[in-house]
Structure 1
Amino acid sequence: MTSARERLNRMRSEGASQEEAFALFDSLEAADSPGMLDLWRGSEIATGHPLEGLLTVSGWYGKQFDSAEHVHPLVFQKKNGDLYAVNPIWIPMNLPFDKIPRGPIRPAMTLARPFVRTRKSAARLRQIEYRGTVSAAMVYDHKDIIDVFRKVDEDTRFAVMDVKSLNSDKSYFFVLERMRGKAFRP
């Protein structure tokens, strides 16, 4: 029998269909909100979603959960390794993401950094029912986005982004890995 960790690692290296990703997601136990508090490094799972690749090439690092009321949903990393939080209000969700060239994204983020950077949290952590399971979820303050988490192990979460306004029949999947002792101050 293949473990959830092995299935996830295969998906990270080879990609997966939406059905395979949801099958793994649905098989995992619920994540609890207190277990989310920390800095997490993120990575995408390729399943054919139009957003794939944009976060990675933009310098996305992950997410930081300071408390149930204070979450930094978009933490980015500069080339020198420093981390900073971005206010998601500046990211439009109604673009044809699959048609955006990936090459200019990182330089554009560098230029935009002074305008999109924030010290304020931009999301909250809640327990929400999704696909029949109540689990930890991050609710954006000013976007119609909810990221729902399931527990792979103590330091790994498998997640799906649920976006009401995104014109896609596909879901965006990603992985978060806990970075113990590496929290940053926005």
Structure 2
Amino acid sequence: MSSKEKFEQLKNSASILNPKDLDIFFAILEPVTLEEILGKWKGGQLKTGHPFAAALRGIGWYGKTFISRVNVKPLVCMDTEGILFSDTESMNGEATIWPVEFRGKVSTSLVYDGVPTVVHFRKVDANTLIGIRDGKAALDENGNYFYFFLERI
């Protein structure tokens, strides 16, 4: 099964996913460069039951926009009228992107301006990314990370 086929299976799963299976999948994916990540992305969660998913639903999270290394809109949200905006309140600002080593590979990671949170990315393909939210308050009660995906728009 290709990485894209596996991703589609995980994305469309009706049941709760085992975070350990996502750890294994993330490990086989290739790093993404700063240049490859630039653009607009629509996001979604990989269903593990992590409480951060509810927080994102609560703010109407839509995706992320990477304009440059120092200009990143990490919380692009949609209001009740369908208008997209950058939520700078929920995470105390926006973000930058940097090459960071995580789990043995150097890949592009997003560093929030106002909170101790880093998001590590790997690519499924040129138009699909998997992200892991990392930081002091990132783990759930079972010690698991929040996994999500981005698809280029």
- TM above 0.5, yes or no, is yes
Q: Deviations over 1:50-73 (max 9, x none)?
A: 212331343110111110011011
Structure 1, unmatched stretches of 5+, are 92-115, 180-186
Q: Does 1:155 align with 2:124?
A: no
In the other structure, the counterpart of 1:81 is 82
Contact 2:138–2:146 (CA under 8 A) maintained in structure 1: no
Q: Does 1:17 align with 2:18?
A: yes
Select the structure of larger CA radius of gyration: 1
Matches within 5 A, 1:63-142: 63-88=64-89, 90-91=90-91, 122-142=94-114
Q: Deviations over 1:13-48 (max 9, x none)?
A: 224211110111110000111111111100000113
In the other structure, the counterpart of 1:7 is 6
In the other structure, the counterpart of 1:183 is none
Show structure 1 runs of 4+ deviating over 4 A. none
Cα distance in 1, alignment partners of residues 147 and 6 from structure 2: 14
Contact 2:139–2:145 (CA under 8 A) maintained in structure 1: no
Residue 167 (structure 1) shift: 5.5
Q: Deviations over 1:136-159 (max 9, x none)?
A: 100001111111110111111011
Greater strand content: 2
SS of residue matched to 2:57: helix
TM-score by length of structure 1 reads 0.75
Cα distance in 1, alignment partners of residues 40 and 6 from structure 2: 24
**CA 11–53 in structure 1, closer or farther in 2 if over 3 Å, else same:** farther
Cα distance in 2, alignment partners of residues 24 and 167 from structure 1: 18
Q: Percent identity?
A: 32
Contact 2:44–2:150 (CA under 8 A) maintained in structure 1: yes
In the other structure, the counterpart of 1:172 is 146
In the other structure, the counterpart of 2:45 is 44
**CA 166–160 in structure 1, closer or farther in 2 if over 3 Å, else same:** closer
Cα distance in 1, alignment partners of residues 130 and 138 from structure 2: 21
In the other structure, the counterpart of 1:146 is 118
SS of residue matched to 2:26: helix
Greater helix content: 1
TM-score by length of structure 2 reads 0.90
